[in-house]
Amino acid sequence: MKLEHWIIVVFLALCAGMTGVFVAGNWAATHPVETASGLHELVHHDLDLSADQGAELELIEHRFAAKKAELEQKLRAANLALAGAMEADKSYSPAVQAAIDDFHTAMGELQKVTIEHVFEVREILTEEQAIVFDAEVVRSLTEL
């Protein structure tokens, strides 16, 4: 193979690799593997909820989904404002700092609502189920 062909192959491989990193990073940002996903799996598949618990859980999750969607929209809006401020100012300006603060506020709200949701789910569990649930919460939060 000629040198020019090798250069093209290497260039395409680098482009594919960079695209993979970019796509994976964006996917990871929009599909976080957090405590909630492990707990969701545990609650729905491992704790053997009663019919009453399942019905209550459905209501809890419906309320949480609405709050979460609203806060995720705030995060997107704050991110857009940050991008706009960075593009306009090209420095760590007061507008950039304010946009970062707005993003952190929205992120903090989402975290608080998520933790409240975890505790709300815990309330419907039996003592035995709560022990397993609590262990998963601790494992998830302390896992690197």
Asked whether the predicted pLDDT for residue 55 surpasses 70, the reply is yes
Cβ count near 54 (within 10 Å)? 12
91, 52: one domain: yes
Q: SS3 for 144?
A: coil
The amino acid occupying position 93 is S
Which range among 24-38, 65-79, 92-106, 110-124 shows the weakest confidence by mean pLDDT?
Answer: 24-38
* pTM over cut 0.85: no
5, 66: one domain: no
pLDDT for 138 equals 86
1, 60: one domain: no
Range of the domain at 5: 1-33
Asked whether the predicted pLDDT for residue 56 surpasses 90, the reply is yes
Residue 121's nearest CA partner among 22, 54, 23, 29 is 54
Residues 71-82 have a mean pLDDT of 92
